[in-house]
Amino acid sequence: MTGNAGTAPALVIFDCDGVLVDSEPLSLACLTAGLNRIGVPIDLETVRSRFAGTSMPSIMGHIERDYGVAAPAGFVDDVKAETLATFDRELKALNGVAGAIRALSVPVCVASSSDPVRLRHSLTLTGLLPLFSGNVFSSTQVPRGKPHPDLFLFAAERMGAAPAACLVIEDSVPGVTAAVAAGMRVVGFTGGGHWGHDPEGADLLRAGAATIFSDYSNLSKVITG
């Protein structure tokens, strides 16, 4: 059973992309352009709806199965390099997130589908990395990424928190699904740039999010439910 609303969690686990940093519009655009270059007939909205919050190995597996296109050698590395270069020019933290995290009185960590290089690059660029005291976990550290629960369970174990006492903040259906499978309470965040079309987060609620929020000024209230 997940933690009860009205009580502070023992640990707050943040996704990164779209939750801490407004990276999804940038990274999804780079991925879409890269897929188009290798002959995959896919548009940005389809990439967003199917792959936001999903690791690159999982994405490329879907592309090969569904479109019959195998990524050429170096493709993933090229997309990653283009994405990091775009981040250097344009990446920003979500409005108010740094102050909201500093105001929390409970332990925090990051658990992301991004590889460690991109993850730390993003958090360093936006000045958020010190807020997590090195407690940053990547899907590369576990056998299965989101929507499987492995990453969230790994983060909770490393942080010494029982899964049922954790709260996850997520912006994607795979992330919400993973948190629910881990036995954790999860809330959906819709303040990122990729959520402009659906601020209500209906798909996150269907996946199991307890509630939806879009403004970090409400974080302390959201955490206690």
pLDDT of residue 199: 63
pLDDT of residue 37: 96
Cα(171)–Cα(125) distance, rounded to whole angstroms?
21
In the chain, the domains with their CATH numbers are 11-22+92-224 (3.40.50.1000), 24-90 (1.10.150.240)
pLDDT tens, N- to C-terminus, the chain (225 residues): 355 556 889 999 999 999 999 988 898 999 999 999 999 999 998 998 888 778 888 899 999 999 999 999 999 999 999 999 999 999 999 999 999 999 999 999 999 998 898 899 999 999 999 999 999 999 999 999 999 999 999 999 999 999 999 999 999 999 999 999 999 999 999 998 776 556 678 999 999 999 999 999 989 889 887
**Identity of residue 12:** V
pLDDT of residue 51: 87
Buried b (16+ CB within 10 A) or exposed e, 166-183: bbbbbbbbbbbbbbbbbb
Cα(56)–Cα(149) distance, rounded to whole angstroms?
17
The dihedrals phi and psi of 147, each to the nearest 5 degrees, come to: -85, 10
First to last CA, the chain: 16
Reference 12, options 185, 225, 209, 204; nearest CA is 185
pTM of the predicted protein model: 0.83
pLDDT of residue 139: 93
Reference 20, options 143, 158, 121; nearest CA is 121
pLDDT of residue 1: 39
Reference 35, options 69, 81, 74; nearest CA is 69
Cα(136)–Cα(119) distance, rounded to whole angstroms?
8
